[in-house]
């Protein structure tokens, strides 16, 4: 008989995350530091359990037109096919084509923070993304259509009672455009996800962080691979306005 229990392994994943978030809330008084520490807990969870093709980090996102997103608490981006990720003063800057998902991380959610997360997500989705035809051994595949960038919010607690009830649904449904949220987790109570018909359902399992992680992985699998980035579109920013040709 095995010495392991799959149920206990999955439950322990959630218990560890919830315990670390609760410790951050109790031990750190400064709101900014508390927020940074909460982000770190979620980023470490994703980098530990997502497949190696993905990486998570606090970052800005930039497009080939030189437009930057807002600062995003958690960006899940491609680490296999995206040719460059900038690092400056401890902050990652990710090209828009390499982004799979973006999340805001908060200690507690309410209507204003859901709206804030929607604005952050929209600032990424509105960026321009290139997509080139893909060469392979037998020829060239047509350019990949741009995949939907997942957006969401993660937190420890909720200001609402019930935590995942009608007030949360109304806040989520307030933006069905560029800022719409697809998935989220309130670690003390449950997780939520957007259905194909545009509505939301919540899952009130006793281990919501694990449920959230599995749903995120399933949705990342469905989005396949990021498009082939046009590196020359970014390289244009290096060209001097004066076009000097070699004689």
Whether residue 190 lies inside any domain: the answer is yes
Whether residue 96 lies inside any domain: the answer is no
Q: Which of 112, 131, 119, 57 is nearest to 88 (CA)?
A: 57
pLDDT at residue 212, as a whole number: 92
**Orientation of helix 6-27 relative to helix 31-49, angle to 10°:** 160
Q: Does residue 70 have an active-site annotation? A: no
Tell me the residue range of the domain where 193 lies.
9-51+102-128+151-223
pLDDT at residue 143, as a whole number: 85
Catalytic residue among 78, 104, 175, 215: 104
How many domains is the chain built from?
1
Whether residue 65 lies inside any domain: the answer is no
Going along 14-141, which residue ranges are E strands? 54-62, 72-78, 86-88, 91-95, 99-109, 134-136, 139-141
Whether residue 194 lies inside any domain: the answer is yes
Whether residue 239 lies inside any domain: the answer is no
Q: Does residue 97 have an active-site annotation? A: no
* 8 Å CB contact between 58 and 92: yes
Whether residue 241 lies inside any domain: the answer is no
Total number of residues shown for the chain:
247
Phi then psi dihedrals of residue 117, to 5 deg: -65, -40
Whether residue 78 lies inside any domain: the answer is no
Whether residue 236 lies inside any domain: the answer is no
Buried b / exposed e over 27-47, threshold 16 CB at 10 Å, is ebeeeeebbebbbbbbbebbe
Tell me the pLDDT of the chain (247 aa) as tens digits.
Answer: 566 787 888 888 888 888 888 887 777 666 666 667 888 899 999 999 999 999 999 999 999 999 999 999 999 999 888 888 888 877 899 999 999 999 999 989 999 999 999 999 999 999 999 999 888 777 788 888 999 999 999 998 999 999 998 999 999 999 999 999 999 999 999 999 999 888 898 888 778 999 999 999 999 999 888 999 999 999 998 876 665 666 5
Q: Does residue 11 have an active-site annotation? A: no
Catalytic residue among 63, 97, 106, 120: 106
């Amino acid at each position: 008989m095995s010495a392991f229990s799959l149920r206990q392994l999955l439950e322990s994943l959630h218990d560890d995350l919830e315990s670390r978030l609760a410790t951050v809330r109790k031990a750190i008084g400064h709101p900014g530091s508390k927020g940074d520490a909460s982000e770190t807990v979620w980023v470490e969870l994703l980098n530990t359990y997502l497949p190696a093709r993905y990486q998570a980090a606090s970052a800005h996102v930039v497009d080939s037109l030189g437009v930057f997103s807002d600062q995003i608490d958690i960006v899940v981006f491609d680490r296999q096919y995206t040719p460059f990720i900038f690092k400056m003063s401890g902050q990652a800057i990710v090209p828009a084509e390499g982004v799979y998902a973006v999340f805001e991380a908060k200690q507690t959610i309410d209507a204003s923070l859901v709206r804030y997360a929607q604005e952050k997500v929209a600032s990424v989705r509105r960026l321009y993304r290139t997509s080139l035809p893909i060469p392979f051994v037998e020829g060239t595949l047509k350019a990949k259509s741009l995949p939907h960038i997942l957006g969401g919010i993660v937190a420890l607690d909720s200001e609402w009672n019930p935590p995942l009830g009608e007030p949360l649904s109304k806040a989520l449904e307030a933006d069905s455009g560029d800022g719409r949220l697809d998935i989220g987790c309130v670690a003390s109570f449950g997780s939520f996800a957007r259905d194909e018909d545009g509505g939301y359902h919540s899952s009130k399992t006793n281990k919501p962080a694990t449920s959230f992680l599995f749903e995120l992985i399933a949705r990342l699998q469905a989005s396949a691979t990021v498009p082939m980035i046009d590196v020359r579109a970014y390289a244009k920013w290096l060209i001097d306005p004066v076009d000097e040709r070699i004689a």
